[in-house]
């Protein structure tokens, strides 16, 4: 029995129709997954804003607790919740840390783009042990390379200067030894 005999007339399975239907199924599934992803991102953003709001509310409540505990006759309770928010409360009250953060932000915004890039690279290199190691050996390699090139250049210049001085001395000795008897005009012609 042929496969085309079981299908209605005009619907012959071909690789193109199979691939097209598969592509449509994948497209539909992709759109569903993208919609789910957008919903998940929206939910995450909503939960993050709610978390930030609750954290701020908890710090305000801790502030009220500290205020109420400042009155005499109140027992001092130190449960886990109070300990967790006490450091955040103290940090918020610390004028030096908030001033320091504002000043750092102001200075950073005043930097030029290349200074920001340099600062970012410095932070990247200093924050990772592998990056520090690679940077150290790279810098060491570059310094050695520069020193070797400069040494080679100085050595070749020195050799060239020594060779030129030796050649000039031997030429002068040769002229003096073999051409001393020539008259001055002939010796002068040699130099021209």
Q: Is 5 part of a structural domain of the chain?
A: no
pLDDT digits (tens, 9 = 90+) for 50-85: 999 998 888 888 888 877 777 776 555 566 777 777
Same domain, 138 and 105: no
Same domain, 51 and 133: no
pLDDT digits (tens, 9 = 90+) for 93-130: 777 777 888 888 999 999 999 999 999 999 999 999 99
- Answer whether residue 192 shows pLDDT above 80: no
Place of tokens 């030129």: 164
Same domain, 47 and 87: yes
Q: Please state the domain count of the chain.
A: 2
Are the beta carbons of 74 and 97 closer than 8 angstroms? no
pTM: 0.36
């Amino acid at each position: 029995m042929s496969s085309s005999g079981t299908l209605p007339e005009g619907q012959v399975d071909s690789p193109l129709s199979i691939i097209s239907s598969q592509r449509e199924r994948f497209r539909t599934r992709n759109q569903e997954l993208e919609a789910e992803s957008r919903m998940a991102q929206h939910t995450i953003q909503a939960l993050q804003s709610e978390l930030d709001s609750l954290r701020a509310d908890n710090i305000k409540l801790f502030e009220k607790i500290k205020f109420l505990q400042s009155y005499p006759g109140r027992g001092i309770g130190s449960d886990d919740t109070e300990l967790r928010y006490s450091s955040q409360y103290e940090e918020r009250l610390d004028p030096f840390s908030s001033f320091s953060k504002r000043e750092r932000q102001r200075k950073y915004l005043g930097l030029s783009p290349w200074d920001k890039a340099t600062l970012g690279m410095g932070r990247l290199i200093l924050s990772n042990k592998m990056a520090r190691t690679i940077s150290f050996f790279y810098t060491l390699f570059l310094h050695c390379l520069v020193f070797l090139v400069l040494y080679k250049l100085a050595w070749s210049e020195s050799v060239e200067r020594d060779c030129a001085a030796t050649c000039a001395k031997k030429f002068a000795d040769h002229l003096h030894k073999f051409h001393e008897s020539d008259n001055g005009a002939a010796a002068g012609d040699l130099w021209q």
